[in-house]
Amino acid sequence: MSVVLVALFVVMVAVIAGILGTLASIFLVEDQTAHVDDLRVVPELALGVSLVVMAVIFAIAFFKIASLGSDGARVAQSLGAEEVTEDTQNVFKKRYLNVIDEMSIAAGLPRPRAFVVKHEQGINAFAAGGSPEKAAIGVTHGALVKLNREELAGVVAHEMAHIANLDTRLNVRLMGMVFGLVALYTIGRVVLRGAALSRGGGGRDNRGAAPMLAIGIAMLVLGSLGVLGGRILQSAVSRKREYLADATGVQFTRNPQG
C-alpha cells in the first residue's frame, strides 16, 4: 500500500511539475511574450523548471513528515491531549489503562502511551506514531466517561489495530504528501500577489508581470487540483484501512460486536 501510494504521489507531482515547466518555458522567455504565434516550448528550460518544482514539493512533503515525526506522544500533545500515567487515581482513567494493557497483550505489541483529550465531550479516538514502539492512543473525555468497559475496549482495539497494521505511519506520509501540494498552492498565491503588485506599477514592470501572472494562476489551479487529488487518495486509503482495523479489532477483543 505504501509503495503504491508513493508511486501515485510521484506521478501526480511529475504531471503538475511538467505542466508548470512547460508554461514557464513559454512565458518566461522575454522575446516570446510579444507574439502569440511565436510561442514555443524551450525543452531545457521546461525540464529545469519541472525538476525544481518537483524538488520543492518533495522537500516540503518530507520536511512535514519529519516534523510530524515517529513519536506518537508528540502528536497527541500537539492535539491538546494529556497523558494518563500509572499513578492516576481517576476510576475512568484506571479502567482506560487496563483496557489498553489487555489490547496490547492481545495484539502482541508494546503498550502505547495513553492520552485523553480533556475538554472534548464527543466520542472519538485516535492512534499516532511511526512505529509500535513509539505509538500513542488517545480518546476524548466523552469516550472515557460515556462508554462502558466493553465499548471502550472496542474503541481501543480499533486504534490498536491501526498501530498493528502500521496505518499510523501511512497517515503521516499521506499528511506530508498533501501538505507538499498545499505548499504549491500557497506559493502560487504569493507569485500571483507579487505579479499583481508589479502590474499595478506600470511600465516595464507591467510587461514582466504578465508571465508571472499566468504562472501564478497556473500554480493556484494545479495546486488546488493536486490537493483535491491528494484528499481523494487520502480518503480512499483511509476507508480501506478503517475496514481492516475493524476486522483486526474484532480479533483483539474476540467480540464480533466490535
The confidence score (pLDDT) of residue 206 equals 58
The confidence score (pLDDT) of residue 54 equals 92
CB 100 within 8 A of CB 88: no
* CA pair distance 237, 156, nearest whole angstrom: 21
* CA pair distance 70, 67, nearest whole angstrom: 9
The confidence score (pLDDT) of residue 164 equals 93
DSSP code for 87: T
Interhelix angle 2-27/167-201, rounded to 10 degrees, is 10
* CA pair distance 60, 58, nearest whole angstrom: 6
The confidence score (pLDDT) of residue 237 equals 80
CATH class of 72-164: alpha beta
Q: How far is CA 82 from CA 114, 127, 129, 209, in A?
A: 8, 14, 16, 51
The pLDDT tens digits along the chain (258 residues) read 567 777 888 898 999 999 998 888 887 765 444 555 556 777 888 899 899 999 999 999 998 888 777 788 988 998 899 999 999 999 999 999 999 999 999 999 999 999 999 989 999 999 998 888 999 999 999 999 999 999 999 999 999 999 999 888 888 888 888 898 899 999 988 888 887 777 665 555 555 567 788 888 888 999 899 889 888 888 888 888 888 888 888 888 877 665
The confidence score (pLDDT) of residue 15 equals 92
The confidence score (pLDDT) of residue 168 equals 86
Residue identified by cell 498501530 is 163
Indicate which residues carry an active-site annotation. Answer: 159
Cβ-proximal residues to 162 (8 Å cutoff; 6+ apart), any chain:
127, 168, 241, 245
The confidence score (pLDDT) of residue 131 equals 86
Neighbour tally for 221: CB within 10 Å: 14
Annotated domain spans of the chain: 2-68+168-248, 72-164
pTM score, whole prediction? 0.74
